[in-house]
A and B are shown apart, each in its own frame.
Chain A
Amino acid sequence: MKKVMMGNHAISHGATLARVQVIAAYPITPQTQVVELLSEIVADQRLKAEFIKVESEHSAMAACIGASSAGARAFTATSAQGLALMHELLHWAAGARLPIVMADINRAMAPPWTIWTDQNDSLSQRDTGWMQFYCQSNQEVLDSVIMAYKVAEKVLMPVMIVLDAFSLSHTYEIVDLPDQAVVDKYLPPFDYKYKLNVSDPHTYGGLTTPDWYMEFRVKMQEAMDQALVEIKKEAVEFEKAFGRRYDPVEPYMVDDADIVLVTSGTAASTARFAVDQMRKKGKKVGNLRMRLLRPFPFADVREHLKNAKKVIIVDRNISYGYHGIWAQEVKSALYGHSKVPVFNFIAGLGGRDIFPETFVEIVNKVKKLKKPDQELYWVEVKK
């Protein structure tokens, strides 16, 4: 059934269709409607779940960890400072191998106070052991919640669904709500082998000596490697069930492109629009949309950028004193595999709009350069 809905409600419907059993969340703009609608759905008994009101995001993640340890399908959502407050427990959720799914609505970090989008909040959590799926439409947001549980429960690692504040969270789009029966068939109930059991009590995550700590880290890395295999498998399975496909990366006119723009989130669809405009003028430009940050799709990135003469990474984030974060990731994947010059542009921080013309200007600038003459370029900043 097709409905018009905001990105935040697409998350709520995704969680409902996934039949989550425990929701623990603390409201923060721009995430609030996610849990507002979920609380209504639970109160109306349209979803059989525990809705736990908590005093902070740290507690929200702690409650999800407890619920997941007991074998429940647990869900939460947050943004920016809320995600930062969860940081310690993000490590715990991943290290404890709990398949929790969370939505993070990308909001720029304060100070200065802001509610608008950029990716520094989620990218700051890169090394916590969470998978991260970056979405570009409300449909993808809803579908990703369902797919996330499938992958998470297979490899026992948590997933963060990431979407831009306002450009998706509060923007209304047509979303196809899948039938519950189809979702149930795709995503059966979760049977957690290691769940807490009072008749067979164990403690988890206790003191581990240098003799064994590292082996548990090897297992996490293996789980992430397996996650990439599962994500590719689920791209096919999901398409069979629902008719929509989500690969780790989404190439657009890259095969014959001289210049490829690498983007993520909603900036990707804007970039594709700009690519169309530039193609009409005979410019050989393409776009590679990054959906996965972790596990990182090394092979896909190398494959789709192998013909490019120049690669431009447009980052809606920055690692101060270094590059944009996607630029680091993509350059690292290309190192030793390609000698293509890589240009890094920083755009759209704190919710500043990224227009199709922004990409046209970036491409025009790069056309004049043989290789980067700066580590990074700021886009459309006041002088």
Chain B
Amino acid sequence: MAKDRKKIEFQKLDELPPMVQSQRSMAANPTGSWRNLKPVIDLASCIHCTICWKFCPDAAIDWVDDNPVINLDFCKGCGICAEECPKKCIEMVKEGK
């Protein structure tokens, strides 16, 4: 992930691509630090419907052993998963608590 980022320095105009281009995909750009609220899933109530996984706009929910797992490196805390969960078993908890 982020650890293999190497900085590429451009010195001259000719070296630049016509448009700004990242060195690799957004996977190299962890956005989890933007988060104020963190989703916490009560797996005891979860019915494994995958709706949170489908709705996450940042693909920050992994599906592991038939359970949703939030990838906190990328989750921005938008709360869409909590909003869409039919069992209301995802709670948005303030970070730092």
B22 and A194 within 8 A (CB): no
A215 at the interface (CB under 8 A from B): yes
- Chain B residue, CB-CB nearest to A207: B20
Decide: A206 and B20 in contact? CB cutoff 8 A: yes
A223 at the interface (CB under 8 A from B): yes
The smallest beta-carbon distance between A146 and chain B, in angstroms, is: 23
In the assembled complex, A352 has its CB within 8 A of some CB on chain B: no
Whole-angstrom distance between the Cβ of B13 and the nearest chain A Cβ: 6
Q: Does B43 contact A (CB under 8 A)?
A: no
B13: A residues at CB distance < 8 A: 215, 218-219
Bound form: Cα–Cα A170–B73 in Å: 57
Contact between A206 and B22 (Cβ–Cβ < 8 Å)?
yes
Contact of A216 among B20, B22, B25 (CB under 8 A): B20
- Across-interface contacts of B20 in A (CB, < 8 A): 204-206, 208, 212, 216
- With a cutoff of 8 Å between Cβ atoms, the chain B residues found around residue A365 in the complex are none
In the complex, residue of chain A having the shortest beta-carbon distance to the beta carbon of B10: A212
**A192–B86 CA distance with the chains assembled, in angstroms:** 45
Could you say which residues of chain B place their CB within 8 Å of the CB of A218?
Answer: 13
**Bound Cα distance A215, B14 (Å):** 10
**CA gap between A215 and B20 in the complex, in Å:** 10
The reply to whether B24 and A219 contact each other, CB–CB distance below 8 Å, is no
Q: Is A60 an interface residue (CB 8 A)?
A: no
Question: Interface range on chain B: under 10, 10 to 19, 20 to 34, or 35 or more?
Answer: 10 to 19
Least CB distance from A151 to B in Å reads 15
Question: What 0/1 pattern do residues 12 to 39 of B give for CB contact below 8 A with A?
Answer: 0100111111111111010000000000
A202 on the B face (CB < 8 A): yes
Taken together as a complex, chains A and B put the C-alpha atoms of A216 and B24 apart, in Å, by 20
Interface flags, A129-156, vs B, CB<8A=1, else 0: 0000000000000000000000000001
With contact pairs A218-B13, A219-B13 given, residues A97 and B25 touching in the complex (Cβ less than 8 Å): no
Asked if A95 meets B22 with Cβ closer than 8 Å, knowing A215-B13, A218-B13, the reply is: no
B18 and A194 within 8 A (CB): yes
Q: Could you mark each residue 193-208 of chain A with 1 if its beta carbon is under 8 Å from any beta carbon of chain B, else 0?
A: 0100000011111101
- Does A96 make an interface contact (CB < 8 A)? yes
* A212 to B19 alpha-carbon distance, docked (Å): 11
Say yes or no: A204-B19 contact (C-beta < 8 A), given A215-B13, A219-B13: yes
Check B19–A96 contact: CB distance below 8 A.
yes
In the bound complex, residues from chain B placing their C-beta under 8 Å from that of A96 are 19
Q: Are A216 and B26 in contact (CB under 8 A)?
A: no
Contact B18 A223, beta carbon cutoff 8 Å: yes
B29 to chain A, nearest CB (A): 8
Docked CA distance A204–B19 (Å): 7
Contact status of A205 and B24, CB under 8 A, knowing A215-B13, A218-B13, A219-B13:
no
Q: Which of B10, B17, B19, B21 has the most CB of A within 10 A?
A: B19
In the complex, A182 Cα to B58 Cα: how many Å?
Answer: 47
Closest to B16 in A: A215
Contact partners of A203 in chain B: CB under 8 A: 21-22, 25-26, 29
Whole-angstrom distance between the alpha carbons of A279 and B22 in the complex? 61
In the assembled complex, the Cα of A208 lies from the Cα of B19 at a distance in Å of 10
- Taking CB atoms, residues of chain B closer than 8 Å to A204 are 19-22
A294 to B1, CA, bound (A): 44
17 A-B residue contacts at CB 8 Å? A97-B18, A97-B19, A194-B21, A201-B24, A202-B23, A202-B24, A202-B25, A203-B22, A203-B26, A203-B29, A205-B19, A212-B16, A212-B20, A215-B13, A216-B19, A216-B20, A223-B18
**Interface contacts beyond A201-B25, A205-B19: sample of 7 additional A-B pairs, CB < 8 Å, sorted by A:** A194-B21, A201-B24, A204-B22, A206-B20, A212-B16, A216-B18, A216-B19
Give 9 closest A-B pairs by Cβ, nearest first. Answer: A201-B25, A97-B18, A203-B22, A208-B20, A97-B19, A202-B21, A202-B22, A96-B19, A156-B18
